[in-house]
Amino acid sequence: MTTAHAPAAAPPRPRLSIGHLAIDQLTFPEAVQAIGALVDAHQGGYVFTANVDHVVLAETNTRFRDAYSKAALSVVDGMPIVWASRMLDVALPERIAGSDLILPLVKLGAERKWRIFLLGAGPGVAEKVGRQFQAQHPGIEVVGWDSPMVNLDAGDAQNDPIVARIREQDPHLLFVALGSPKQEVWISQVAQKLGPTVAIGIGAGFDFIAGTAKRAPEWISKAGFEWLYRLTHEPKRLWRRYILNDSQFGAILLRELWKRTGGKGG
């Protein structure tokens, strides 16, 4: 008698552990494909894009760290982490910015007839972006947009009406532009209530598309200096993040190298 065997499960993706975060080893096309597979699985879940600021935040922000630990997918949004990964055990092939994922996912969604919901950014920004998507990508169904005031300590009284508006439209994909760490913590708070909807944090992505914020030229981003470009344009808002907080990344990297060598130099 022969025994039927279930097909072997696909091997898990290699993940880079850096500080308290784990980041999937994916190329940009693989990331788009993986998010598409997550949407098509109708199991829900969420996607984060890790940068240096996130690695540093996870050191002290337990809610942020816990949110990351439950992400279905985490990709790298920061050249310093890509460079650092080459010194560690899982090299990451390229930067995958959340803002860069938006249009490829909208294009894929147009092909697959996805419904999408846009949440966050300033008043009117998500609506402007949604109408632009509908005009430029026939097939995509933008089922709603919202720019709520979100307080991470407000609980269900705040979150349930927001989630109800989203669930009423039953989107396949939810873009969340609340900025970090708010968007990551909020997504983790409501993830179980979103049903099969997949959420992805995209930071300033809507503002870049709408033209309400200027993004660094591609050559600056590839050189790893997008942070400097943003700092020069928004010094009052960003100086603490980039000058004080992110300077801690070097110490975290040294700690990771120390762990992997067992404290042995050379």
State mean pLDDT over 83-87: 93
Contact 241, 52 (CB under 8 A): no
Residue with tokens 């089922």: 143
pLDDT band at residue 246, thresholds of 50, 70 and 90?
low
For 60-76, give the secondary structure using H, E and C: HCHHHHHHHHCCCEEEE
* Residue 162 pLDDT exceeds 50: yes
* Residue 230 pLDDT exceeds 80: no
Residue with tokens 């919202």: 146
Q: pLDDT of 111-139, one tens digit each?
A: 999 999 999 999 999 999 999 999 999 99
**HSE-up (13 A, CA, CB side) for residue 62:** 0
Quote the pTM value: 0.86
Q: What pLDDT is stored for residue 212 in this prediction?
A: 84
The distance between the two most distant Cα atoms of the chain, rounded to a whole number of Å, is: 74
